[in-house]
Amino acid sequence: MTETPQTHTPPPPNGTGTADPAFAPYKPRSPEYRLAADALRGLRQDLFTDAFAYRPLPRRAVDGPVVRRLGGRFREYASWTPHALIAAAAFLALLVSSTTHGGGNLGLLVGLLTLAPVVLTMVRPVLAFWASLVATLIATVLDGSYSDWPWPPGAFFAHLVVLAVVAIRTRPRTAAWIWALTAVYGFFAESLFGWNHYTANTAPMLVVSALLLLAITVWHIRREAEQEVTAQQTVTAVERSRRTLLEERTTIARELHDVVAHHMSVVAIQAEAAPYRVENPPPELERAFATIRENAVAALTELRRVLGVVRAEDYEAPDAPQPTLADLDALLANVRDAGLDAGRTVTGAVRELPQGVELSAYRIVQEALSNTLRHAPGASARVEIGYVLGGLGVRIVNGPPPEPSLVKPSPGAGHGITGMRERVSMLNGEMTAGPTDEGGYEVTVFLPVPATSEDDA
């Protein structure tokens, strides 16, 4: 059985045969219409809605390559450079206007009219543009000459300064609008009132201002691109650091798997063999040891599953057991063959430490010596192992490279230190790493060892 869909058409209002416009089908607007609507909306927002917005000109940053070299007081003065440049341009516009009008009260009045919009750009840039058009019109009327229409020399210079400052302090879209409005003003001024003047300067104004605004727009685009690149580099560096941290933690988890698995296996075997060491053990004791063994086996199974999660696709389980501090001699022999003059010093009473501590200490020494080979080729290194009360102290220090020019930048710089810190943090230890006064590098680590482990040793 099929159902036929029914379309319900709303009846015409008031019983007439005419259709209500509210029920008329929606007609999508053309792309040209939407583009024009967005442009007009941007014009209203940039030049009318935000015309009186208070935007004080910020001081210049003092972290530039040139300003950083100045002293404290001069650096403070350098931060006011944008304000000083605008003030100098305003004074120059005042000077040009007053001299071209023969001085006197009229020249001073016209000069102040051209000065005001330039100064206004420091607090209300969009309003300064409108003020510049109004000041230009008043200055032209007061000028009374038959040349340089519709911009007298002082107003010409002042309007260019206003256009430049407004374009710098706003977006490129606003710069396009103020140039278009300047063209409209010049066109109507020449068409309606320029018939009795000898020369007109609307074309020079539009050409010079177009080149000026184009250069500022290119500067805007380049600055935004640099900011985006800087932000992307920052995000990339953070992500790289996180990925490195996760990789180091995964490596540590894989290495410690053998240590933990060994201890759990020992627990399971001892729990299984314990009832046979006691003659006629009670049933409760047998059930307790059986439960211990079952829990140990279950823990081993879960541990293998966790290792499967953190194991990389190309990871291969090592055939040899995890290294300990007893294998340092072989490690030092390998780095000596690679050209590193490395020595070892052991202080304190040598004793057996937990496998996790010995493995972490070995990896820290290995990574520190690898960093020496990578970043200080030809330098000498010294490894100091100290068995102290409550833990193990490790110190690896290398001298400066004999030929610093041979040292090449390494893309993995800093990753080894991250792995060291993760191992030390896992054992609740302490670590310091940094350059020495002689130009080398030093890594100092303290790994605490519980008192129970020392007693068992």
Domain finish residue from 132, 167, 200: 200
Residues pairing with 388 in the sheet: 391
Confidence grade of residue 452 (pLDDT, cut at 50, 70, 90) = low
Structure confidence at residue 232 as a pLDDT band (50, 70, 90) = confident
C-alpha 205/C-alpha 132 separation (Å) is 14
Q: For residue 164, is it within any domain?
A: yes
Torsion angles phi and psi, residue 105, rounded to 5: -65, -40
> Which one of 282, 310, 338 terminates a domain?
310
In a domain, residue 106? The reply is yes
Q: Indicate whether 338 and 424 sit together in one domain.
A: yes
Q: Are residues 303 and 341 in the same domain?
A: no
pLDDT band per the 50, 70, 90 thresholds, residue 316 = low
Q: Is the pLDDT of residue 4 over 50?
A: no
Per-residue pLDDT at 122: 95
Do 98 and 178 sit in the same domain of this protein?
yes
36 alpha-carbon distance from chain centroid: 37
Assess whether 107 and 172 both reside in one domain.
yes
* 355 and 413 share one domain: yes
The closest alpha carbon to 401, from 373, 382, 381, 377, belongs to: 377
257-302 per-position pLDDT tens digit: 666 776 777 787 778 777 777 777 888 888 888 888 888 878 777 7
For residues 435 and 373, membership in a common domain is answered with: yes
Q: Is residue 42 part of a domain?
A: no
Per the structure, how many domains does the chain have?
A: 3
Rounded to whole angstroms, the Cα distance separating 432 from 424 reads: 10
In percent, how much of the chain has pLDDT > 90?
30
| Greater pLDDT, 352 or 402 | 352
135-189 confidence digits (pLDDT tens): 998 888 887 666 778 888 899 999 999 999 999 999 888 999 999 999 999 999 8
Is the residue at 369 inside a domain? yes
**Per-residue pLDDT band at 396 (split at 50, 70, 90):** very high
Considering only CA atoms, which of 139, 164, 173 is closest in space to residue 39?
173
Q: Distance (Å, rounded) from C-alpha 341 to C-alpha 42? A: 70
Domain co-membership, 331 together with 370: yes
Q: Is the pLDDT of residue 1 over 60?
A: no
Examine residue 450 and state whether it is found in any structural domain, yes or no. yes
Q: How far apart are CA 39 and CA 342, in angstroms?
A: 72
The reported pTM is: 0.57
d(CA 213, CA 161): 11
pLDDT of the residue at 85: 94
Residue 273 shares a structural domain with residue 330: no
Q: Is 22 within the bounds of a domain?
A: no
- Top pLDDT among 307 and 170 is at 170
Q: How much is the pLDDT for 455? A: 41
List CB contacts of 41: < 8 A, sequence separation 6 or more: none
Phi, psi of 427 (to 5 degrees): -100, 10
CB 148 within 8 A of CB 163: no
d(CA 143, CA 137): 10
Task: Provide the pLDDT for residue 26.
Answer: 53
Give the CATH number for residue 358. Answer: 3.30.565.10
pLDDT at residue 359, rounded to an integer: 87
Asked if residue 370 belongs to a domain, the reply is yes
Task: Mark whether 287 and 331 lie in a shared domain.
Answer: no
| Omega within 30 of 0 (cis) for the link into 281 | no
Residue 123: the pLDDT is 95
Q: Mean pLDDT in the chain?
A: 81
Structural domain boundaries, residue 286? 247-310
Q: How far is CA 276 from CA 44, 272, 289, 454, in A?
A: 93, 8, 11, 30
Domain edge (last residue) among 263, 278, 310: 310
Length of the chain: 457
3-state secondary structure of 429: coil
* Whether residue 196 sits in one domain with residue 71: yes
Report the alpha-carbon distance of residue 279 to residue 440 in Å, rounded: 65
Q: Do residues 271 and 357 both lie within one domain?
A: no
Per-residue pLDDT of 322-341, as tens digits, reads 788 988 998 898 888 877 88
The answer to whether residue 300 is domain-embedded is yes
Kindly state whether residues 101 and 129 are assigned to the same domain. yes
DSSP 300-332: HHHHHHHHHHHS-TT----SSPPP-GGGHHHHH
pLDDT at 68: 66
- First vs last C-alpha separation in the chain: 86
